[in-house]
């Protein structure tokens, strides 16, 4: 029986065949379909956005859609589908750019809203501070007014107490202290005893109210000549002025006049009336 020896592999041919098959397989793998050109760049752009927390916060849906588009663009296609591959890459790139634009727009809107809230908060804080200052100023003003009113009340009370002590009469001209004729000996201009309780009270009052001006007026009855009484009334007023300056009262505060018997306050027809007319009046002028 004849055998077909050429169909049997010769020794060593198995190893050679295996090597050839392996080489073919490796070549086939090396030249298999690859991701379309440009898809890697789009993937890099998308990855950069996905690593940005602001983009992930403000463009989450758009990034999800871009991810799907990039995955589609990365799928290998046959050589005769280059146009489709380029279109997918282009669309993926547009989706990535849309996600970027949406994220940046929403981020700016969020920043603007935050700045607006901060501005409103600052304005509110400024108005609150202004209101607080106004309230504090009003409280201080009320307190000052209350203090001033209380001080004025105390001063008025003290003044009235001094007036009562002085036994002066409040008139339109001011406070009038009348010093009777017992202050002087008959026909004399010298103060008897060199002092008088009413004069000491007057000194105390004038020391306590140094802004008050004083008019000292001498008066007499109608006994004697007009010239004599004129001179006597002025001399007695001068004696009171000297007493006051001797107690430290500024002479510039004191004005002296003598009216003789020109301004009686009672009738000179009786001894009682004439006694009332013989007087020195000290007028403590009101403050302007």
pLDDT digits (tens, 9 = 90+) for 134-174: 988 888 888 888 888 888 788 778 777 878 777 888 888 88
Helices (H), 193-270: 197-208, 226-246
Residue 189 domain-assigned? yes
CA distance linking residue 237 with residue 189, whole number of Å: 8
Q: Do 273 and 180 form a contact (C-beta atoms < 8 A)? A: no
Q: How many domains does the chain divide into? A: 2
Q: Cα separation of 265 and 273, whole Å? A: 8
Answer yes or no: is 177 within a domain: yes
Same domain, residue pair 65 and 140: yes
Q: Which of 187, 264, 181, 193 is nearest to 222 (CA)?
A: 264
Share of the chain above pLDDT 90, in %: 58
Reply yes or no on whether the pLDDT at 13 is more than 60: no
Residue range of the domain that includes 199: 167-285
The percentage of residues in the chain with a pLDDT greater than 70, rounded to a whole number, is 87
Sign (positive or negative) of CA dihedral 127, 129, 131, 133: negative
Are 96 and 171 within one domain?
no
CA distances 212 to 13, 93, 205, 239, Å, are 145, 98, 10, 20
Q: What is the pLDDT of residue 86?
A: 92
The answer to whether residues 44 and 149 belong to one domain is yes
Please answer whether residues 54 and 108 qualify as being in contact, where contact means their C-beta atoms are separated by less than 8 angstroms.
Answer: no
Confidence band of 7 (pLDDT split at 50, 70, 90): very low
Q: Are 199 and 253 in a shared domain?
A: yes
62 and 85: one domain? Answer: yes
Q: What angle do CA 66, 70, 74 make, to 5 degrees?
A: 175
The pLDDT confidence band at residue 76, using thresholds 50, 70 and 90, is very high
The answer as to whether 199 is a domain residue is yes
The first and second tokens of residue 140, run together, are 């201080």
pLDDT for 102: 95
Q: Which two tokens stand for residue 26?
A: 């490796």
CB-facing half-sphere around the CA of 244: CA atoms within 13 A:
29
| Domain endpoint, select from 90, 118, 153 | 153
Is the separation of the CB atoms in 236 and 281 below 8 Å? Answer: no
Based on the fold, state whether residues 120 and 84 are members of the same structural domain.
Answer: yes
* Residue 100 domain-assigned (yes or no): yes
Is 19 within a domain? no
pLDDT digits (tens, 9 = 90+) for 219-274: 999 999 999 999 999 999 999 999 999 999 999 999 999 999 999 999 999 989 98
């Amino acid at each position: 029986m004849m055998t077909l020896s050429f169909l049997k592999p010769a020794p060593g041919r198995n190893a050679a065949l295996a090597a050839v098959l392996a080489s073919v397989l490796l070549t086939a793998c090396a030249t298999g379909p690859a991701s379309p050109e440009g898809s890697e760049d789009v993937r890099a752009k998308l990855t950069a956005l996905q690593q940005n927390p602001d983009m992930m916060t403000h463009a989450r849906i758009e990034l999800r859609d871009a991810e799907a588009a990039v995955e589609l663009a990365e799928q290998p296609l046959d050589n005769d589908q280059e146009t489709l591959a380029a279109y997918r890459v282009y669309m993926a790139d547009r989706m990535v750019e849309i996600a970027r634009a949406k994220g940046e727009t929403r981020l700016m809107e969020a920043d603007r809203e935050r700045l607006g809230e901060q501005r409103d908060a600052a304005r509110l804080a400024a108005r609150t501070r202004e209101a607080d200052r106004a309230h504090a100023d009003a409280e201080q003003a009320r307190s000052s007014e209350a203090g001033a009113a209380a001080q004025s009340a105390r001063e008025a009370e003290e003044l009235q107490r001094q007036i009562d002590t002085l036994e002066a009469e409040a008139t339109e001209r001011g406070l009038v202290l009348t010093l009777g004729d017992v202050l002087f000996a008959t026909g004399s201009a010298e103060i008897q005893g060199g002092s008088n309780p009413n004069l000491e009270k007057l000194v105390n009052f004038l020391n306590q109210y140094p802004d008050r001006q004083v008019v000292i007026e001498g008066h007499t009855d109608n006994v004697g000549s007009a010239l004599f009484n004129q001179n006597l009334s002025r001399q007695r007023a001068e004696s009171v002025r000297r007493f006051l300056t001797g107690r430290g009262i500024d002479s510039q505060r004191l004005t002296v006049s003598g009216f003789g018997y020109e301004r009686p306050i009672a009738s000179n027809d009786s001894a009682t009336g004439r006694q009332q007319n013989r007087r020195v009046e000290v007028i403590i002028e009101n403050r302007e």
